[in-house]
Structure 1
Amino acid sequence: MKNHAIIAYFLALCLTVLTACSNSGEVDKRDLSYDDIVNTGLANSCLTLPDSSRGTIPIEAGKQYAIQDMCIEPREFFVKEEPVSKRQKAEFIEGKLLTRYTSSLDHIRGTIDTNDDGTLTFTEIDGIDFQPVTILLPGGEEVALMFTAKQFQGTTTASADSINTSTDFVGEFHVPSYRGAVFLDPKGRSFARGYDHAVALPGRADDPKFSNVKEFVSSKGKMSLNVTKIDSDTGEIAGVFESEQFSATDLGAGEPQEIKIKGNFYGRITDNA
C-alpha cells in the first residue's frame, strides 16, 4: 500500500508539471473575461500568432484592402546620448519604461493600396494612435515623449502580389506635441494663454529672457513594420517594428532627444470592397 501511495504521488506530480508546461504559452486575450484582464496589464499586450504561422495573403492589383484591430506594443526604448568628446560617436542608451499599462497603441485601422510600380502602401487612418510615455535612463534622467504612429504611411521596398513574411512597410508618421497649447508651466506661461512673462519677478518681469517663448512643436518620425507571421485563413498578421522619433520639448523650452523604439505589432487584413 505504501508503494502504491508513492507511485500515485509521482503520477500526480508529473501530471501537474505537464499541465503547467502546456499552459506556459502566451495568453490570448480573446479567451478572457473583463474580470480576468482588469488590473493585470494584459490589456496593454498585443495579440500574437503561433511561430508556425507562415502563410500568405494574396493582393490583387488595383484593389484596396483594410487593416483593422491593429495593435503596436513597444518593448524596448533607446535614447540617443550626445558624446562627451568630439572624438566619440553618439550612441543609443537603453532606458526603462516608467509608464504602466498604457504604452501600447490599439484599435488602429487603415488601408493597404497597390501602387503603379507594384509596391504596397499602408496608410493609417485613426484609432488609439498615440500614448504619452516616460523613459528612465540609467543616470536617473526621465525623458517624456508621445509614442505614436499617427498618419503613418509606409510603402514596401519591392513589388509584391501578396503579403508574406518578407513584407516590410517603411515610411514616416506625424509626432504631435507632447503638451497642449494651453498647458501652463510653473511660471504661468503657455502657447495660447497665461502670462506674457514669467510671474513672481516683479522687478524684472519685462526682461526679454523671461518672456514667453513657447511654441507648438510637432515633428516627423520614421517606422518600419516587418511582417513575420501570417494566418491565411483569418487574415491576421503579426511581426516586429522599429521606429525613430523625437522626445517632448515642453513647448519649445528644451531640446528634443532622438528616441528609438522596438516592439511587436498585430493586425487583421480584410477586403475593403
Structure 2
Amino acid sequence: MRSLLRTTVALCLAACLALLTACSGDAKSIDRADLTYDDIHNTGLANDCITLPESARGSISLTAGGKYSLQEMCFHPSTVAVKGEPTNKRQEAQFVEGRILTRYTSSLDSVYGDLAVTDSGLQFKEKGGIDFQPITVLLPGGEEIPFTFSSKQLLATADGSAITTSTDFSGEYRTPSYRTSNFLDPKGRALTTGVGYAQGLVAAQDIGEDELNSENVKRYIDGTGTMSFSITRVDAETGEFAGVFTAVQPSDSDMGGRETFDVQVSGELYGRLEQA
C-alpha cells in the first residue's frame, strides 16, 4: 500500500514539474510554424515577433561584394508616443505615450530586402512584405491619432562588415497616406469619389480660402519617417537575429485637411539573414 502511494505521489510530482517547466517558457518564442490556425486565431500570437533566447550572442561574418538578403523581418510596436503642443512657451514639445487601439494587426511582418556590404559598411534596402499597417493610438486626453506604421522603401545603413549584437541600422522610409482615394471623410468627401462640399457657404475672407481648400480638396500625401534598429541577439547557425527598433514618422493628415503630429513607435525586431 505504501509503495503504491509513493509511486502515485512521485507521478503527480513529475507531472506538476513538467507542467511548470512548460509554462515557464516565453510564449513569444513558440515556433508559429508548428501551430494550427485554431491555435493562433484571436490569440494575438500572429501579431508577436519571434524571439531568440538571451544566450544567442553570436555573430555572422559577411564577405564584401557578396549578395545577401534579410528575410521574414518583423517589427512589433510595443509603445507609441505622440509629440503634442507644449503647455507653455518656455517648454519644448514632448512625446506623450498613448494606448494602441488597433488589436492584433499592428505589426509589420514578412518584410524583406537586399543587404549589401560596401566599403563604408552595411546597407539594407527594403523591397516588400507586409510593410505597412494602419494604427490608431489613444492619447491620455481622449484624442485619437491615426497613422500608417510603415517600413516601405527603408534604406538603412550600419557600420561594420558583420551582423553582431552591437550592429545598429538607421535610415529613412516612406509612410503612405492613412486614407486612400476612395475613403470618405465624415462629410462624404474623398479624392476620387464622394460629393463636393461647400462648407455651408462660409465666407472665404472669414476663415481663409486656403483652409477651405485643404478641407474640400483632398490630396494624396506621403510622408517620410526615420527608423533605427539595434540587433541584440544573433544565432549564427540559423542566421536569425532579434533586437529593438524606434521609428519617428508623421501621423495622418486627412489627405491634407489637418496638420500632422510626430509619432514615435518603439518595439521588438526579428529577422533572418540569407545568402542570395
TM-score normalised over the length of structure 1: 0.89
Q: Residue type of the partner of 1:45?
A: D
- Asked if 1:100 is matched to 2:103, the reply is yes
CA positional deviation for 1:23: 3.0
Deviations 1:183-220 (A, max 9, x none): 22232322234334337x3xx27855645232222111
SS at match of 1:152: strand
Output one character per residue of 1:66-110: Cα deviation in whole Å (capped at 9) or x when no partner: 111111111111111211210122111111111011001111110
Q: In the aligned structure 2, how far is the partner of 1:262 from the partner of 1:9? A: 48
Out of 132, 142, 145, the position equivalent to 1:143 is 145
Show the counterpart of 2:249.
245
Sort the Cα spacing of 1:93 and 1:14 in 2 relative to 1 into closer, same or farther, 3 A: farther
Question: Are 1:270 and 2:266 counterparts?
Answer: no
Give the helix-richer structure, 1 or 2: 2
Letter in 2 for 1:258: D
Corresponding residue for 2:46? 43
Looking at structure 2, the residues matched to 67 and 210 of structure 1 have their Cα atoms a distance apart, in angstroms, of: 46
CA distance in 1 between counterparts of 2:81 and 2:7 reads 53
Deviations 1:46-80 (A, max 9, x none): 11111100111110001120111111111111111
Which residue of 228, 233, 236 maps to 1:232? 236
Question: What is aligned with 1:81?
Answer: 84
Name the SS for the 1:189 alignment partner: coil
Matches of 2:9 and 2:82, distance apart in 1:
53
Q: How many residues are aligned here? A: 266
In the alignment, is the contact (CA less than 8 A) between 1:75 and 1:264 conserved in 2?
yes
Aligned counterparts of 1:246 and 1:36: Cα–Cα separation in 2: 36
Aligned equivalents of 2:95, 2:87: Cα separation in 1:
14
What's the counterpart of residue 223 of structure 2?
219
Q: Which amino acid aligns with 2:180?
A: G
Using the alignment, how far apart are the partners of 2:244 and 2:167 within structure 1?
A: 11
Partner of residue 131 from structure 2, selected from 129, 132, 146: 129
Partners in 2 of 1:136 and 1:121 — Cα distance?
Answer: 35
Q: Is the 8 A contact 1:241 1:264 kept in 2?
A: yes
- Are the equivalent residues in 2 in contact too, given 1:188–1:198 (CA < 8 A)? no
Unpaired runs of 5+ in structure 1?
none
Deviation of 1:239 after TM superposition, in Å, equals: 0.7
CA distance in 1, matches of 2:219, 2:191: 6
Q: How does 1:146-225 map to 2 (within 5 A)?
A: 146-156=148-158, 158=159, 160-198=160-198, 201=200, 204=201, 208=209, 210-211=212-213, 212-225=216-229
Aligned-residue RMSD, C-alpha: 2.3
- Matched residue, 1:32: 35
1:109 aligns with 2:112: yes
Q: TM-score, structure 2 length as denominator?
A: 0.88
Offset, 1:241: 0.5
More displaced stretch, 208-217 vs 103-112: 208-217
Q: Select 2:71's aligned residue among 68, 72, 87.
A: 68
| Amino acid across the alignment from 2:133 | Q
Matched to 2:245, the amino acid is F
Structure 1 CA distance for aligned equivalents of residues 196 and 131 of structure 2: 33
Tell me, in whole angstroms, the C-alpha distance in 2 between the residues paired with 1:87 and 1:254: 25
Letter in 1 for 2:149: F
Counterpart residue number, 2:58: 55
Identity %, equivalent residues: 45
* Equivalent in the alignment of 1:16: 16
